[in-house]
């Protein structure tokens, strides 16, 4: 099954709708709740990052019998130093963003923790593609 979602830019009120919809789908499919949580949390973190750092983008999700593959794509500024960005607590989020509940510098470390596989392709001024894989039986 292939799903496509647009991720609106700078609209934190609606951010997370794609992740919410994917989560509902996985519940309907009867996937193990522990696996669903891994997929939902990592996708949600990536979706929020696309909104607050990437200027919006899109999500391409493929669900098959043994796994879910989630690609979050944005055309934003890219991540200058990925190794640094992966560290717990590292953030460039503004105070405005923090007032809206984000900017702990925990999103990428959370993705790493919850995803079975995480791949990040990023180029300065070209954007970022985050690929998350979660297996349903493991």
Query: Are 61 and 22 a contacting pair, CB within 8 Å?
Result: yes
Question: Contacts with another protein in 82-101 (CB under 8 A)?
Answer: 98, 100-101
Our finding on whether 45 is near another protein (CB under 8 A) is yes
CA atoms within 13 A on the CB side of 9: 9
Segment near another protein (CB under 8 A), from 7-15, 63-71, 79-87, 126-134?
7-15
Q: What are phi and psi of 23, to 5 degrees?
A: -60, -45
Segment near another protein (CB under 8 A), from 42-50, 63-71, 75-83, 115-123?
42-50
Nearer to ligand ATP, 25 or 75 (CB): 75
Query: Are 8 and 14 a contacting pair, CB within 8 Å?
Result: yes
Beta strands in 1-138 (DSSP E): 2-7, 57-63, 67-74, 117-123, 127-135
Our finding on whether 74 is near ligand ATP (CB under 6 A) is yes
Our finding on whether 115 is near ligand ATP (CB under 6 A) is no
Q: What residues form DSSP beta bridges with 3?
A: 61
Segment near another protein (CB under 8 A), from 33-41, 58-66, 118-126, 127-135?
33-41
> How many Å apart are CA 104 and CA 125, to the nearest integer?
24
Nearer to another protein, 37 or 67 (CB): 37
Q: Where do contacts with another protein occur on this chain (CB under 8 A)?
A: 12-13, 15-16, 19-20, 23, 33, 37, 40-41, 44-45, 48, 98, 100-107, 109-110, 113
């Amino acid at each position: 099954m292939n799903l496509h979602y647009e991720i609106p830019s700078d609209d934190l009120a609606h951010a997370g709708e794609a992740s919410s919809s994917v989560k509902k789908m996985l519940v309907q499919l009867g996937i193990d709740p522990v696996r669903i949580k891994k997929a939902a949390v990592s996708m949600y973190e990536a979706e929020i990052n696309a909104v607050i750092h990437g200027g919006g983008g899109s999500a391409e999700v493929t669900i098959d019998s043994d796994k879910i593959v989630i690609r979050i794509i944005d055309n934003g500024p890219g991540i200058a130093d990925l190794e640094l960005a992966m560290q717990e607590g590292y953030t460039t989020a503004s105070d405005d963003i923090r007032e809206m509940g984000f900017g702990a510098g925990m999103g990428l470390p959370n993705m790493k923790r919850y995803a079975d596989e995480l791949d990040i392709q990023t180029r300065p001024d070209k954007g970022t593609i985050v690929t998350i894989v979660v297996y349903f039986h493991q």
